[in-house]
Structure 1
Amino acid sequence: MSNEPSNAADARRRVTELVREARICMLTTIGVDGRMVSRPMVLQEAEFDGDLWFFAYADSAKVRQIRVNPEVNVSFSDSRRDAWVSIAGTAREGHDRAKAEQLWTPLLKAWFPDGPDTPGITLLKVRASSAEYWDSPSGTVVQLFGYARAAVTGRPPRVGENREVSY
């Protein structure tokens, strides 16, 4: 189901809220053999303005894949709120010391022990071109009731809001 939002600004705000709440995502790149490859990533900046930021190692497979084909997808799932976001965009890699310091958090030391000075560290910036979200604000019990009703009536359940957003 795909709906054009009645208010695009409201839909963009909702994408931002859902991304901010989820923070953990799957980054999907296209391998050099054409296969899609996904891996978990931690979003570094939750103030989503159309750009998503991640730390990575410059010699990692994901960075090599982005250099060959910068088209990516970033998907978020927030099971506590029954919400999902899929963001399509273009990624680019590059180390920007000032941006790295701005985005740095102590939790990143587990992967980058020398902080922003870790040899080989780089930033990935994903510029969103579009997003789609599914938001089920009702609780699990309400959703299960909707599924049960759908089974009896033969009509698909109304499970929440689904919107597409362009950037």
Structure 2
Amino acid sequence: MKKSIILIFSSFLFLGLAGCDTFRTATNAPDRVTDEVQAPTAQEAQDAQADATSETRRRQLDADIQAREERNNLLNDGAATNRSDSDLASQVRSKLEANLPASALVVESENGNVTISGTVPTQQQYERIPNLAKEIKGVNNVTLNVAVAPAQPEN
């Protein structure tokens, strides 16, 4: 019964995201990984950081990762191969959002190859991106189009 509930819940989650092919860590993140990368305003960076560090948001991110892992375990025998691109992109986005506050990143995945674009405020956050992405089962390769761009004052 528990597996059935997880499967039903996961199916609704999947259907809700079926139209999405990119996953963003913040509303000011680029729409696509090929879009030009721009530094966020100070307010955008502050809003993204507040959202990423909120306890409620962290629980949501953890629940998203866990639900996708459970669905993979149920439907794919827990294998790292044959993972859905949307699951990989969503899990990488959740991992980055939870661990890189004030980032504005967009994530796309194709056959286990993950492309990440956008901005992070520090070099230290930039250097953490590949390792965080590779913590997600099924990520084979990470391509970065990320700029280190501290927030810019609003004019």
TM-score range (shorter-chain normalised) is: under 0.3
Which structure is higher in RCO with an 8 Å CA cutoff and minimum separation 6?
Answer: 2
Mark the structure with the bigger radius of gyration. Answer: 1
- What is the TM-score when the length of structure 1 is the normalising length? 0.26
